[in-house]
Every structure is written in C-alpha cells, then in structure tokens.
Amino acid sequence: MSEMEHRAGSPSAAEQHEIGELIVRGLPATRAATISVLMETARVWTAGREETIYRQGEPVPLTLIVHGYGAFRRTTEDGHDLMLGVGEPGDLFGFSSMASVQSSVELVALTDCLVAQWPGAEIRKLAVDDPGLALRAAASMAESLHAVIERVEGFLHQDARRRVVRILARHRHLFFGESAVLTRAHLPSLVGTSREMTGRVLRQLEREGTITRVGRAELRLLRPDRLGADAA
C-alpha cells in the first residue's frame, strides 16, 4: 500500500462539495462528468504544519490545496535548500503525474493543510476522454516551465536586493498579513541567497523606511509604494 493510500480517506459530503467548487474554478473547461469523478475519488487528508505532503524524488500526485498553505522545496545535490514557491488555497498542481515522472520538489505544509489528491494514472485516464482537462494540464506544465525559466534568469541577471524585493512583493499577503505565513527565516531559501546577504538587504530596506523587523521572525510593511516601485 502506498503512503498516499494509507494516509488518505474518502471525502465527506461537505468536502466533496467544496472540492467540486475549487475544481470548477481551477478547471473551467472540464466536463461535468470528469468533475464528478474527481469529487468522488479524491483522497482527502490533513497535513500538520511542517508535514510533508509529497516528497522530492517520488511520483507526484495531482494535488489540490483545499485549506492552508504549502511550500515547494528542493534540496540540491550539494545540500542547499531552496523554496521555489508557495501553494495557496485553491491551487491545483501536479499534472506532470500523468507522465509518471518523479517530483523535482517536495511539498511541505507551512500551516495545517487540508489537501485532496489523485494518482497520476487516474488523471491520465480522465484526460484521454476530456480535452478540457488535457488542455489545462498542458497549460499548467507550460506555466511551470515558464516559472522555472524566470527564476533562472533572476539568479543570473538580478542582484540580491532586486530578488529580495520581488519575493516580498510577490508574497506580500503572506509576509505582511495579519497572521504571517512566511517569516524572515523563509527568505533566504525563497530568494536563493545566503542569510547574511538577505539580512543585509532587509537592514537596508529598514533604514530606508520601507519595512521594519518585528520580534524574532516577522516583518511589517511601512511603505507599500516603495516596495512596489523597487520590484518593478
């Protein structure tokens, strides 16, 4: 029995309804019959904070975050940990599971997460008879490729300050929200720089009055206009 089969259960009626609404939003061109199958066959479970939802190097299931936030992390061959992005409520990802490939990242819960998952083989069967699902899968993988290229270009052509500011601007609601999901500790792996370099940029932004550090881990945004201008 696989880990996913062991840890997951069938959704309740309320969960089915909520999952169905999120699937319709994420897969607007998908046939109603396909959506019904996805609602009925979802493996639903709750991942606690810092619990692994799926692991790097293992087959990736199609995954829907129903509630909570997750971090996409990758450990490089030389042992560096990178955070490649954040999954939010309603995000649907893992269409590469249709090709039975191993995941290049792990997904770890940043908060308690309710997730729904489907094995790639099941999604592949559905996509054969549903062009809307197949086209969305192709679009999702193209978007992922574009995001990778954008990140590589950022490493090559942007200085540390620009990269830090862009990450803060992109995830503004997660860093500066009333209940922060991301903290200063997440910045180095998200930006791809050392703690020392990231700290240097934060101190510079603090001297300029754009942000201020709060407590041991959080940040407060003082001048949203400056953050937006620097990220442009």
Q: Are residues 60 and 10 in the same domain?
A: yes
Q: Give residue 8's pLDDT.
A: 58
User: How buried is residue 56: exposed, middle or buried, by Cβ count under 10 Å (0-12/13-18/19+)?
Assistant: middle
- Quote the domain boundaries for residue 28: 3-155
Q: Is the dihedral of CA 101, 102, 104, 108 positive or negative?
A: positive
Instruction: Provide the token pair at 130.
Output: 């549903």
Could you report the per-residue pLDDT of 35-58, keeping only the tens digit for each? 999 999 999 999 999 999 999 888
Give the residue-averaged pLDDT of 132-140. 92
132 and 203 fall within a common domain: no
What's the number of CA atoms in the CB half-sphere (13 Å) around residue 144?
A: 19
Section 119-134 average pLDDT: 94
Mean pLDDT across 18-22 = 93
Q: Which of 131, 155, 179 is the last residue of a domain?
A: 155
Residues in the chain: 232
79 and 176 assigned to the same domain = no
User: Rounded to the nearest 5°, which phi and psi values hold at 148?
Assistant: -65, -45
Final residue in a domain of this structure, among 104, 123, 155: 155
Taking 90 as the threshold, does the pLDDT of residue 31 lie above it? yes
> DSSP secondary structure string, 211-225?
EEEETTTEEEES-HH
Whether residue 122 sits in one domain with residue 221:
no
* The pLDDT value given to residue 155: 58
Query: Is the pLDDT assigned to residue 94 strictly greater than 50?
Result: yes
Q: At what angle do helices 131-157 and 120-129 cross, to 10 degrees?
A: 120
State CA 26 to chain mean position distance: 15
Residue 4 has pLDDT above 50, yes or no: no
Regarding beta strands 43-47 and 70-75, do their DSSP bridges make them parallel or antiparallel, or are they unpaired? unpaired
What is the chain's mean pLDDT, rounded?
87
CATH of the domain at 222: 1.10.10.10
Q: Are residues 135 and 23 in the same domain?
A: yes
Overall domain count for the chain = 2
Q: What is the DSSP letter of 186?
A: G
**0.85 cut: is pTM over it?**
no
Asked if pLDDT for residue 163 goes beyond 60, the answer is yes
- Percent share of the chain, pLDDT over 70: 90
- Predicted pLDDT at 6: 39
Q: What is the pLDDT of residues 179-197, one digit of tens each?
A: 899 999 999 999 888 899 9
Q: Using the Cα atoms of residue 9, residue 31, residue 94 and residue 176 in order, give the sign of their dihedral.
A: negative
Q: Which of 128, 155, 182 is the last residue of a domain?
A: 155
User: Which bin fits 32, alpha (ψ -120 to 50), beta or left (φ > 0)?
Assistant: alpha
CA Rg value for the chain:
19
CB 160 within 8 A of CB 197: yes
